[in-house]
Amino acid sequence: MEFARLAEAFEKLEAKTSRLEMTADLAELLNGAPESQIGKIIYLLQGVIAPPHRGIELGVAEKLCIDALATVTGQTERAIEASYRKTGDLGGTARLLLEERKQRSLGASQLSVAKVHDNFYRIATASGQGSQTAKTRLLAELLSNASPIEAKAITRFVTGRLRLGVGEATIIDSLSYAKAGDKSLSKELERAFNLSSDLGLVAETLYREGMHAIRAFKPTPFNPIRPALAERLPSAAEIIGKLGTCLAEGKYDGLRLQVHKSGDRVEIYSRRQEKITHMFPDVVAAARRQIKAKDAIFEGEAISYDEETGRFQAFQETIKRKRKHGIGAKQKEIPLYLFAFDLMYADGKDYTTVAFAERRAALKALVSGKGLIELSKAVAVKTPAELDAFFEECVNAGLEGVMAKDLKAPYVAGSRKFAWIKLKKSYAEGLADTLDVVVVGYYYGKGKRTEFGLGGLLTAVRAEQRFKTIAKIGTGFSEAQLQELRDYLTKLKVPKKPDNVDSLLEPHAWVKPELVVEVKADELTQSEMHTAAKTGGRGLALRFPRLMRIRYDKSAKEATTEKEARGLYESQKTH
DNA sequence: TGTGCCTGCCC
DNA sequence: ATTCTGC
DNA sequence: GCAGAATGGGCAGGCACA
């Protein structure tokens, strides 16, 4: 299939907001494509080259894409960046630049979907010395053969911002529409996707073999399963109101691992289905020793602990296990527990369809002996008071909060249905760390935010007469607030960094440090990039910062101080 | 050989 | 991760 | 309530270049 058809379909999809219409358009596109191309088209629609567990990543994003555009158009990188800043969309910039060229370069050839996908694959697999040049050249080759609209699609793909308004759910619906004319097949297609994590494979199977093959998908070791996700609620009362009696589990602030075992072979997958076995030889060994089934798929949270005190360590420590080299040493330095919390498959039995109570019981029977793998801390609760008490206990033990799970629910991927609900300290009113920080700069923003001229704020705490950065804020703004803030900050704009601001970061615009905003965060972390309370090369930053409100009523003098920030950091249970 | 930039992926 | 918005 | 698109801090790895 010609790539132009796909690029034109992208244009149509982007212009629409009705998912029903998008679904119809997509179904038409798929039915017009040759069977052999279906998988590739689905991957391109998802913005990927292959399913995540294949580990095929472009290794090219914004900067290298700008390099390639510079090569193709003869423009300077600076000029391209300037245009990008205006459009908020590097794809839009690519399109504009190619429209300025009167015609395609001499000897340009028609791009096909296969050619584009193949070049992406070659970009992804280029490595070693000279690979950056090779990647840029492969991308430039595509762009020089592309029409403006094709270049836009290619650029958006490469920068990971397709912005079609089309996600997995819409693609699944469109597959159903393509074959049945309605959503009647969506449920079964979704299940096949959940069990394989490979939408291209699902689509190809549907087109080649039909629904009987889709229904045959089942949990299989070494095919990662899409993880169940949790909703959030702010109080124990609301959670009990929703679930009634439920199982409350400790929420460990670590890495979510999906462990697959068949005989002696063990593989481990991340929450987003990346294969990460090599990072956890200790977990592999423990799975071989402690899991009393030939075949099994289960999930747990890996978290590091201090061997001397036995206390759990901060996420920043656990994440250091996420590495390729020097695993042996890190394994000793950062010992882990794996707190198992769910079971999807064991020795031929599909547990994804059975009630959580039964899964949990089977999991308990599956894990044997003392070792790295333990069951997550859990207790059945009937009342908000019981849930609150367990929550307190968990937080005091250094956990993030609790997860409440419907004992009757099957294992359902995705965030729907409120089968799992999480409760964190920061969700509750008055319990979270809230700071009044001073805006010292702002960023222009991309995509939708471009129209407001504001993507985020650079903010700081006060230290005597100086302002030291503690967080960028990029979420929590309503569109009205974006507009309002941009109008207000434009008036405070100054041409360069004020002398009394300490910052390692360079926002798009500096402002006089006057406006105060209230920001909520889950915790404070040590930071190399922020200057607040800096000692020995590390400052403090906010984890998960979000805007709560604009405090026109407060002056910068009344903002949270560096000292207060340090106090908040010191009072945390883990650090 | 060291360092800084870029990228991808954890949360 | 959190949050907002159109459907 | 779902689905999608904005955005955060911070870790390691890989490459280019001084």
**Would you state the pLDDT for residue A109?**
82
Say whether the CB atom of A21 is under 7 angstroms from strand C. no
CA distance A417 to A237: 18
Strand B nucleotides with an atom less than 7 Å from a protein beta carbon: 5-11
Contacts of A343 (CB under 8 A, 6+ apart): A296, A297, A298, A299, A351, A359, A360, A362, A363, A366
Write the CA distances from A105 to A71, A84, A117, A548, integer angstroms: 12, 23, 21, 51
Residue A402, C-beta contacts closer than 8 angstroms, at least 6 positions apart:
A248, A249, A250, A251, A387, A390, A391, A394, A422, A423
* Strand C atom within 7 Å of A426 CB: yes
Interatomic distance A437 CA / C3 C1' (Å)? 19
Domains of chain A, start order = 3-158 (1.10.3260.10), 229-428 (3.30.470.30), 435-572 (2.40.50.140)
Give the count of beta carbons closer than 10 Å to the beta carbon of residue A93: 27
Which nucleotide lies closest to A271 by the C1' atom and the CA atom?
Answer: B10
Give the CA A528 to C1' D9 distance in Å. Answer: 10
Q: Is the CB of A315 under 7 A from strand B?
A: yes
User: Is the C-beta atom of A183 closer than 7 angstroms to strand D?
Assistant: no
Buried (b) or exposed (e) across A229-248, using 16+ Cβ within 10 A?
ebeebebbeebbeebeebbb
d(CA A204, CA A207): 5
Amino acid A327 CA to nucleotide D13 C1' distance, rounded Å: 14
Distance from CA(A417) to C1'(D1), angstroms, rounded: 9
Rounded distance in angstroms from the CA atom of residue A88 to the C1' atom of nucleotide C5? 19
Question: Nearest nucleotide, C1' to the C-alpha of A18?
Answer: C7
A272 touches strand B (CB under 7 A): yes
Catalytic one of A251, A261, A520, A534: A251
pLDDT of residue A430: 62
Q: What is the pLDDT of residue A470?
A: 98
A229 CB inside 7 Å of strand B: no
Q: Is the CB of A478 under 7 A from strand C?
A: yes
Distances from the Cα of A94 to the Cαs of A84, A99, A115, in angstroms? 9, 9, 19
CA of A323, C1' of D14: distance in angstroms: 13
Per-residue pLDDT tens over the stretch A520-530? 999 999 999 99
Q: Is the CB of A167 under 7 A from strand D?
A: yes
CA of A386 to C1' of B10 (A): 32
A485 CA → B3 C1’, Å: 38
User: Which residues 239-258 of chain A have a CB under 7 Å from nucleic chain B?
Assistant: 253-256
Residue A143 pLDDT: 97
Mean pLDDT, 10 residues at a time, chain A of 575 residues: 98 96 98 97 98 97 98 96 97 96 70 98 98 98 97 98 97 98 97 97 98 98 97 94 96 98 98 97 98 98 95 96 94 96 98 97 96 98 98 94 96 80 84 89 98 98 97 98 98 98 97 98 96 94 97 98 96 73
Tokens for A399? 């956990």
DSSP string, A264-291: TEEEEE-TT--B-GGG-HHHHHHHHHHB
* Residues 326-365, chain A, CB closer than 7 Å to nucleic strand D: 326
Q: Report the nearest residue to nucleotide D8, CA vs C1'.
A: A544
- Cβ atoms within 10 Å, residue A74: 10
Residue pair A426/A372 in contact by the 8 Å Cβ criterion: no
Strand nucleotide closest to residue A545 (CA to C1'):
D8
Distance A248 CA to B5 C1' (A): 44
Count of Cβ atoms closer than 10 Å to residue A31 Cβ: 13
Bases along strand D below 7 A from a protein CB: 1-16
Residue A429 has a pLDDT of: 65
- C-alpha distances (whole Å) from A349 to each of A297, A322, A345 are 10, 31, 6
**Which nucleotide's C1' atom has the smallest distance to the CA of A134?**
D15
| Among chain A residues 209-238, those with CB within 7 Å of any atom of strand C | 232
The reported pLDDT for the residue numbered A413 is 86
Assigned token pair, A7: 């690029």
Burial of A325 (0-12, 13-18, 19+ CB in 10 A): exposed
Residues of chain A (57-86) having a beta carbon less than 7 angstroms from strand B: 57-65
| Catalytic (active site) residue A187 | no
SS3 state of residue A488 = helix
Supply A555's token pair. Answer: 């002056």
Which parts of A385-503 are beta strand (E)?
401-406, 420-424, 433-443, 456-463, 466-473, 493-494, 501-502
3-state SS assignment for residue A230: coil
pLDDT (tens digit per residue) in A440-478: 999 999 999 999 999 999 999 999 999 999 999 999 999
DSSP string, A12-51: HHHH---HHHHHHHHHHHHHTS-GGGHHHHHHHHHT-SS-
DSSP structure class, residue A302: E
Q: Please give the C-alpha separations between residue A277 and each of A27, A176, A462, in angstroms, as whole numbers.
A: 37, 35, 45
- The pLDDT value recorded for residue A561 is 98
Beta bridge partners of A480: none
One-letter amino acid for residue A452 of the chain:
F
Instruction: Provide the whole-model pTM.
Output: 0.97
